[in-house]
Amino acid sequence: MSKISVGAKVRMQGDCECSYEPVKGQDIWYDSRDCYHKPNAVRHVFRDNESVWVRNRYNFARRILNKDLL
């Protein structure tokens, strides 16, 4: 991944496993804390140069590895 700066909009790779309703036949529900597949803002870049602190539109945040970002 190229250099990421604070304020950059990023998305996680892969399919989003979040939904507003339960997924038919599966026990997956919408969880705003884990929805990082839409554009989310980088709030901190860690010194390891391999991870960033990302906050989603619900103001939940988590540390994500650069390799997991688009």
3-state secondary structure the chain: CCCCCCCCEECECCCCCCCCCCCCCCCCCCCHHHCCCCCEEEEEECCCCCEEEEECCCCCEEEEEHHHEC
pLDDT at 1: 45
For the cut 80, the answer to whether the pLDDT of residue 66 exceeds it is: yes
| 61 has a pLDDT exceeding 80 | yes
Q: What is the mean pLDDT of residues 28-45?
A: 81
